[in-house]
Amino acid sequence: MSQSQATTERVRDHFEEQAGTFDALYNEDRLVQKTLRPGLHHRRKLAADVVRAHPDARVLDVGCGSGRVAEELLAAGAAAYVGIDFSEPMLDLSRQRLARFGDKVTLVKGDFHEAPLEGPFDVIVALGLFDYIDEPHVFARRMHELCADGGEVVASFPRWSWLKGPVRKVRYEWINDCPIFNYTERELRMMFGAAGFSKVEVLRATRSGFHVRAHR
């Protein structure tokens, strides 16, 4: 098993064990979530705004998790939604949450860089995904391959901060044996530029995170 495969296995184990806990992080009905994790709201809003800018968009959600982001993307006007995740417990939550949207929704279990996906997609969303990937450039290239001309990728990335960085490292790597990665603005511009995107916007969302809009 390669180092990258071992990393993937550790991340998968974490999300299969913590699916319900992770899903609760996105419950904005809880005041504590709105107060302590405003970045989760900001990145979902950005993704929904991008979907609105692409009428009748075909949307791909990489690392779709429990389907909370999907609800907003579909409400924003996505004509078709494809969510992919490698955690079956997460997909179970998505199936329950998104059942009311009927055949607009397709859910796929698998690794993004290997699973057969029928592009192109007008909008590709990757929120809370790159935190756990040790070869992000591979994912960026695949996103470019699947993105329609004139389409966009919307993604979130953590950046190191002395306020949250040590806490995240202890929580994920030391306690839960789940690797966590951080990024710089320069790395993001280079990664998406090298993948072939014509324009890369890096937005500093919070002191501990970036948002990226990459245009094809």
Given a cut of 90, whether residue 24 has pLDDT beyond it is no
What is the phi/psi pair of residue 213, to 5°? -115, 110
Map out the domains of the chain with their CATH numbers.
Answer: 3-215 (3.40.50.150)
Other C-beta atoms closer than 10 Å to the C-beta of 108 total 16
Q: Which two tokens stand for residue 21?
A: 């806990």
Determine the average pLDDT of the residues in 38-54: 89
Query: What percent of the chain clears pLDDT 90, i.e. is strictly above it?
Result: 60
CA-based end-to-end distance of the chain = 34
CA distances from 99 to 67, 112, 138 (A): 10, 23, 32
Other C-beta atoms lying within 10 Å of the C-beta of residue 99: 10
Confidence of residue 134 (pLDDT cuts 50, 70, 90): confident
With 0-12 / 13-18 / 19 or more C-beta atoms within 10 angstroms meaning exposed / middle / buried, residue 167 is exposed
Per-residue pLDDT at 32: 45
Q: What is the DSSP pairing of strand 80-85 with strand 58-62?
A: parallel
Asked whether residue 126 carries a pLDDT value surpassing 60, the answer given is yes
Q: Which residues are bridge partners to 147 per DSSP?
A: 121
Strand partners, 213: 154, 201
Judged against a pLDDT cut of 70, whether residue 86 lies above it is answered with yes
C-alpha distances (whole Å) from 207 to each of 16, 116, 160, 188 are 29, 36, 9, 16
